[in-house]
Structure 1
């Protein structure tokens, strides 16, 4: 095991409150402004010459942000003013770990008062070469996760741009493989949509894409309605935690057969396109397996000849129109009946099929990458406290480590 001994956090680092910088006096520049929520803008001046570690200072210990260069720590955050000779990235991982490891007799991390934090007992590894070796293990996983996210963002841009090119600008390939509208393809005025669309296309509504279904919530008073290994039951909150991903396997809870009967839940097949219809409107995901949802969704089961790939982007392209129909005094919501009236253009079947054939490999690649990223994240989150606590041994390379590598 790595040599670990409890020490005051204040013996390892010194935390300091950031500096006030109202948006009205900011001048856009090369230096990021780091607040409790991360990068919140830029400025032409800096307060700290990084590397830096920043966290929120309200409530409980917030998310950690690592900064490579010069930056301005905002007064809503705390930043590490002095690393006291410790590796900055190792300190970032140590602070990220607080709250997951038992560092004191207190049951939870105290409120973010820097004086209280300085008194917190934390597991300390004083050998800097060992600190660097530990952070390199975690850093390698984080870099792979970051690479995966960049790849998926680029794949998303390709698929979305192709949808816009074909179905918004109407420049899908014509019979000669040339862009339809640019190549003077015939455009016909549609009185329902009140605009011109390609010849042979039609006006329709979102209901034409597939069966639109809603969900419900089993009684939470009966614990038998929920189980750890049942049918995935997804809520808008689950989708809020899934932002940046296109697919979802399950939410925080599964429902049992009893729960399904209790709430008259309908189970949706894999490939159903989920759309949150309230609190907030517009979160989307595609189910990987049979699932169900609470009442915060209006979901699309592909049952009318359109693929999940085409449905996904058509619904996404309609979000602005959907939100315009939303109503409600407490919070805005879109009803199933209203959703069925949102008008869309219905292309010829051969065009949507050709589009699906083009983007299906992209969707499959994105799904695989998301699954890998999820596994890597779980591995990192498992390793993090084990490494920080010294429960997993990391050997120090025989050759000297370059500390800023």
Structure 2
């Protein structure tokens, strides 16, 4: 492929705008404030994003209003991540971010995002950032950063289209995971909080120790249906590639655990768990980190490993411990001030209604199937990301020639 002479980021961008160097006041609803945790590899991560008011949005976009096709670059933690702003999304910049507005007459914006995520530029970013006390990129270094020679626009479009197709598939699978999780949450509430289970019309409510419950249901404690597993293991006593889940790998308000590390990267005593166990982050339980293990592995000792005592208890236990009410209870009963920790001994006494076997098995079957589907999707996404990340450096470097491809736009 014929390539242009070297250009800097300033040469290919209409604007490069730094963020406000202060924390934006947040609220429950409003415009997304994009901080470094919200900047993925090519796409924005909006789960748990901070929100700001109209007035804050205007104040934080006075230098430039981010728009579709702009890129957001993380200056710190993690240095160098880049995401493109999609159509229909209005955002403002959080701290430690920079807005890049590519000139579409010079470069395909998506191609620029993938170029910046390639091995060559990422290595340069890390080298520049490593020279600081706290690793970060200066805006001047970003503006003057020299890009590898650019291919013709047709090749840029082809590379962007190929890699975007992978990201579109990943995004679609993530959307399906969120839908499945929401269905499971709603079904749990319908059956076990509002008692609108199949056939509820023919069952009267009767008084119990915790209020009115359907006739024929029992009131149990969590400890009657599940146990804490404390199987302590040293990381050097297992194969080095054994999956390791730290609290940083547990997403908020999602039972699907799609990211993990390796045992070779950690030290000190950890807890072993089995596929299908429930991992509950006990430090600052209000972070709502509860998920189902997709593999056998190790986890932080700051995790409660929960295992249902019987297979048909799994759905009810999972629905309970991942519910807002249970997380609120774990928070209220946690111990410690600076680093409050949930206490399993207290949590075992949490009451929950146990239905007759037919209803219990029906719900557990649904929950088990939903978890299996979300885990199937998460493994698909891991494979898609791995393939995309293998292709990315080969495509942006020109090692894989795409000049002969015809891309429909």
**TM-score, length-scaled by structure 2:** 0.78
Structure number with higher helix proportion: 2
Q: Deviations over 1:49-106 (max 9, x none)?
A: 5421122445663532312458564373321245362111111222333676444894
Q: 8 Å contact 2:274–2:297 — kept in the other structure?
A: yes
Cα deviation, residue 392, structure 1: 2.5
Q: Deviations over 1:175-220 (max 9, x none)?
A: xxxxx1xx262211112x2x111112122211112221235563x8
Q: Does 1:354 align with 2:359?
A: no
Specify which of 212, 217, 228 is matched with residue 228 of structure 2: 212
User: How many residue pairs were aligned?
Assistant: 379
Counterpart of 2:167 in 1: which secondary structure? helix
Residue 67 of structure 1 aligns with which residue? 85
Relative distance call for 1:52 and 1:303 in structure 2 (3 A) is same
Residue 388 of structure 1 aligns with which residue? 396
Relative distance call for 1:36 and 1:152 in structure 2 (3 A) is closer
Relative distance call for 1:217 and 1:123 in structure 2 (3 A) is farther
Residue 235 of structure 1 aligns with which residue? 246
Relative distance call for 1:198 and 1:99 in structure 2 (3 A) is farther
Relative distance call for 1:363 and 1:202 in structure 2 (3 A) is same
Q: Does 1:8 align with 2:8?
A: yes
Residue 95 of structure 1 aligns with which residue? 116
Cα deviation, residue 4, structure 1: 8.0
Counterpart of 1:121 in 2: which secondary structure? coil
Residue 293 of structure 2 aligns with which residue? 287
Alpha-carbon RMSD across the aligned residues, in angstroms, is 3.7
Aligned pairs for 1:262-273 (under 5 A) are: 263=269, 267-273=272-278
Relative distance call for 1:33 and 1:228 in structure 2 (3 A) is closer
Counterpart of 2:273 in 1: which secondary structure? coil
Q: Supply the distance in 2 between the matched residues of 1:200 and 1:293 (Cα, whole angstroms).
A: 39
Relative distance call for 1:226 and 1:107 in structure 2 (3 A) is farther
Structure number with higher strand proportion: 1
Aligned pairs for 1:182-201 (under 5 A) are: 183=201, 185-191=203-209, 193=210, 195-201=211-217
Q: Does 1:52 align with 2:60?
A: no
Higher Rg of the two aligned structures: 1
Q: 8 Å contact 1:233–1:292 — kept in the other structure?
A: yes
Q: Supply the distance in 1 between the matched residues of 2:329 and 2:346 (Cα, whole angstroms).
A: 11
Q: 8 Å contact 2:7–2:149 — kept in the other structure?
A: yes
Q: Deviations over 1:144-176 (max 9, x none)?
A: 0111111121122222211111111101112xx
Counterpart of 1:278 in 2: which secondary structure? coil
Q: Deviations over 1:22-55 (max 9, x none)?
A: 86799x98x7665555564474867445421122
Relative distance call for 1:2 and 1:381 in structure 2 (3 A) is farther
| Unmatched 5+ stretches in structure 2 | 39-48
Q: 8 Å contact 1:209–1:306 — kept in the other structure?
A: no
Relative distance call for 1:33 and 1:377 in structure 2 (3 A) is same
Residue 315 of structure 2 aligns with which residue? 309
Q: 8 Å contact 1:17–1:75 — kept in the other structure?
A: no
Q: Does 1:17 align with 2:18?
A: yes
Counterpart of 2:279 in 1: which secondary structure? strand
Q: Deviations over 1:366-394 (max 9, x none)?
A: 22111101111122222222222223322
Residue 274 of structure 1 aligns with which residue? 279
Q: Does 1:168 align with 2:193?
A: yes
Relative distance call for 1:103 and 1:390 in structure 2 (3 A) is farther
Q: 8 Å contact 1:213–1:336 — kept in the other structure?
A: no
Q: Deviations over 1:238-263 (max 9, x none)?
A: 324x974524685432699xx9xx95
Q: Supply the distance in 2 between the matched residues of 1:395 and 1:128 (Cα, whole angstroms).
A: 10
Q: 8 Å contact 1:236–1:279 — kept in the other structure?
A: no
